[in-house]
Structure 1
Amino acid sequence: MQSWIHYPKNIKVAKYISCYWLIEKTTLQDINNFPKLNPDPATHLIICPQKQGFHYDTAPQVSSGSGSHWLFPQQQTLQIDHSERFIYLGVKFHIGALYSLDIPDYNHPTLNQADTVDMDHLLSVTGFPAESLLQIGRTEPLECCDKLDELFLPLLTNAKEDQHSEITHKVLQLLDSTAVSELGGKLFCSQRTLERSFNRVTGLTMKQCQSMNKLEAMLEYLYQRDASDIDWVDVAFKFGFSDQPHLIRQLKKQIGLTPKHYVEERGLTIDIYGGVTARD
């Protein structure tokens, strides 16, 4: 399994796209055939060969198909079928970015599903070079990212901001460091107005998004440590849980594993899609 994550160089592109990533499975010997993706408030556009299948399972809901596709914000842990060889080139958009973009055939906001996408239609091009990009991504990641910047710039240049997207940008800048109940006072805006605009742009509540971001930060923290080095009481305090039982309940609710089981099975719960990657 090989993977990389890089960031847009173009400032206009970086306003809407968080990062580019690639993951490729080249051998059937990999034992991690059904990894899980953590809940994610961001949207990913995933470029892959036209005949390559995808399968995301949140039981009882399943999203499947073939070729390039959207993976919209997910409120639950997803199990992916990675049992066959595959290559994915991903474009991770900032939270709520799609609200400002003129995307053909897109129903906003969309959550908890994956949908196929016509890349020619999306980017107003003829003959989107998917295979060429994937080949460059295998060997020259930075060149691949430069080409993605070039391809996405026209779509992003035409983005339109309004009062709801502006409010949401301000909320996102404070969300990881401020209690939701304090945001109205800091932004000189009513809590109801903040919540309404944020939900309109992202499809999520501020609390839901904050919880997902906190989970991502905590799992990345755990990913970098051996089980013997983890003090669960300290982890609970560090990430804002009232006590260790509260941490256990939340982790069980969000990813279906207790903290102990997560550490034991960390190879099975990853967010390689522009987030946590495997340790060296």
Structure 2
Amino acid sequence: MKSWKLSPKIEDVARYVECYWFLEKELHDQSFSYPKLNPDPSSHLIVSNLNSTYEYTHSNKTQNVSGSHWIFPHLKTFTMDHSAPFKIVGVKFKIGALYSLKMNNLSSKLDKVETIDVNHLIGSRTFSSDQLLMNAAEQKQQVCNILDEELLPWLSDCHEDKHSHLVRQIMLLLGDTAIAEIGEKLHRSQRTIERSFARVTGLSMKQPQSMIHLEEILNYLYQLNKEDINWVDVANKYGFSDQPHLIRHLKSSIGKTPASYALDRDLTIDIYGNFEFD
């Protein structure tokens, strides 16, 4: 198993792209074949070889795509078929970035994956998924440089308005500020910030806040062995009123109680690691 994660180097790209990441499962890898992808408020552009196929299942609904594709924000876990070897590069966009890139009807994209022609999307005649992936494991900085240069013209032709500017300000506060206090901090009415956030992201503010907190919890649990987890301490550490509150949160988010999750450890972070920045 090979993986890495790097940040864009060009400022105009980093305005919309949070990071680039790479994952390769080789023929001899014996990792879990059906990992679960936890809820995520960001969109990921998955760059893949044209003849590769991917399967995502959620609530008994299966979505199949071939080649490069979008994973749009999803509120529940996706079960992925990773039984065969694969090699992919991901472009993780910042929350709300697709609004500025003129991709409309974001709420209709929730919980969906969608095949995409990357060359058509970014307006490039030179971009090659196969070339990018060929030596991606060993030449990570070169891959990032290529993506920066290829994405820059597309990302420079963006649409910024009062709603996208406001959402940028909201996102700076959302991780550690009560939603009811954000409007006051930004000198806006609660109705104004909620409407702008929904327009730009297709989500309520509570949804990404919950998913951000979930990711923090999963990153913390990843560092612990099953026998070292104290769920009362976890509940206190992450601001839950009590352990039953934490249990309800995890069951709603990933479909499992804390005890079941600790036993299975079948999310992507457990199978592939937490993709720390190099």
Q: TM-score range by the shorter chain?
A: over 0.9
- Counterpart CA distance in 2 for 1:192 and 1:273 is 41
| Structure 1 residues 275 and 159, CA gap change in structure 2 (3 angstroms) | farther
Supply the distance in 2 between the matched residues of 1:130 and 1:107 (Cα, whole angstroms). Answer: 27
Report the Cα distance in structure 2 between the residues aligned to 1:122 and 1:273, rounded to whole angstroms.
Answer: 31
* RMSD of aligned residue pairs (Cα, Å): 1.9
For normalisation by structure 1, the TM-score amounts to: 0.93
Q: CA deviation at 1:30?
A: 1.8
> Which stretch shows the higher mean deviation, 48-57 or 223-232?
223-232
User: CA deviation digits over 1:1-27, x for unaligned, max 9?
Assistant: 211111101111111000001111112
Matches within 5 A, 1:51-90: 51-90=51-90
Q: Deviations over 1:179-214 (max 9, x none)?
A: 111111111111111111001111110011100000
Q: Following superposition of structure 1 onto structure 2, how do residues 50-199 of structure 1 map, counting pairs within 5 Å? A: 50-102=50-102, 107-109=105-107, 110-199=109-198
CA distance change for structure 1 residues 95 and 63 in 2, over 3 Å: closer, same or farther?
Answer: same
The separation in 2 between residues aligned to 1:68 and 1:10, in whole angstroms, is: 23
Q: Which residue in the other structure is 2:268 paired with?
A: 270
Please tell me the residue identity of whatever aligns with 1:230. I
SS in structure 2 opposite 1:132? helix
Q: Which residue of 1 aligns with 2:33?
A: 33
Q: What's the CA shift string for 1:26-74, capped at 9, x where partnerless?
A: 1255241000000000000000010100111002322212010010000
In structure 1, distance between residues paired with 2:10 and 2:135:
19
Judged with a 3 Å threshold, the aligned counterparts in structure 2 of structure 1 residues 273 and 108 are, in CA distance, closer, same or farther, namely farther
Query: How many Å apart are 1:261 and its aligned residue?
Result: 2.2
2:102 and 2:111 map into 1 onto residues whose CA distance is: 21
| Ranges in structure 2 where 5+ consecutive residues have no aligned partner | none
- In structure 2, the CA distance between the partners of 1:273 and 1:190, relative to structure 1 (3 Å rule), is farther
> Secondary structure of 1:138's partner?
coil
Cα contact 1:37–1:79 (8 A) shared by 2: yes
| Deviation by residue 1:119-175 (Cα, 9 ceiling, x = unmatched) | 111111125211110013122111111111011011111112111111111111000
What TM-score, normalized to structure 2?
0.94
Letter of the structure 1 residue corresponding to residue 17 of structure 2: I
| 1:221-247 superposed Cα distances (whole Å, 9 cap, x missing partner) | 110112233221121011111001110
Q: 1:246 to 1:259 in 2, by over 3 A?
A: same
Aligned AA for 1:9?
A: K
SS at match of 1:92: strand
Q: Work out whether residues 28 and 84 of structure 1, in 8 Å CA contact, stay in contact via their aligned partners in 2.
A: no
Matched with 2:257 is 258
Structure 1 residues 156 and 274, CA gap change in structure 2 (3 angstroms): farther
Asked if 1 retains the 8 angstrom alpha-carbon contact of 2:222 and 2:269, the reply is: no
CA distance in 2 between partners of 1:31 and 1:269 (Å) = 12
Please, which runs of 5 or more residues in structure 1 have no aligned partner? Answer: none
Is the partner of 2:137 in helix, strand or coil? helix
Percent identity for Structure 1 against Structure 2: 47
1:72–1:113 CA contact under 8 A, matched in 2: yes
CA distance in 1, matches of 2:158, 2:270: 28
Matched positions, count: 275
* Local SS of the residue matching 2:160: coil
Deviation per CA, 1:67-115: give whole Å up to 9, x if none: 1001000000110000111111100000010100145xx6434211000
Distance 1:107 1:192 in 2: 20
Letter in 2 for 1:84: A
